[in-house]
Amino acid sequence: MIADKVAKFDADTLDGVRSGAVLGDEKLQALAWLTARIFQSRGLITKAEADAFLAVGYEERQIMEIVLAVSVKTLSNYSNHIFHTELDDAFKPYAVQEDGSRELKMSA
């Protein structure tokens, strides 16, 4: 939701990020890749992975911004799962299915 409403990414870019496709923008590709690596590895990325991210023009503070974003999202998800919070209508098009997959519904 933030990606399309705040960052104003187009639908093709969002679909590409969510599906793991190769993106046309090197910096955006690096951002999507490192974010996934931080999530998948629980923060245990290698120095080479961090260096590859930095090599395309990012700074160390932006790695910490990814860590912050993953942390906030994790806290939100855990809290909502524990308390069985009902999903707001505005977020339903972005819902993850019970099997972990996403049904992408992009509305105008």
Domain 2-94: CATH class, spelled out: mainly alpha
List the domain boundaries for the chain: 2-94
Q: Residue 8 pLDDT > 90, yes or no?
A: no
Q: Are 58 and 30 in contact (CB under 8 A)?
A: yes
Confidence of residue 4 (pLDDT cuts 50, 70, 90): low
Q: CA-to-CA distance for 80 and 68, rounded, in angstroms?
A: 18
In this prediction the pTM is 0.77
Confidence of residue 9 (pLDDT cuts 50, 70, 90): confident
The closest alpha carbon to 69, from 34, 99, 101, belongs to 34
Confidence of residue 1 (pLDDT cuts 50, 70, 90): low
Portion of the chain with pLDDT greater than 70, in percent: 82
Confidence of residue 106 (pLDDT cuts 50, 70, 90): very low
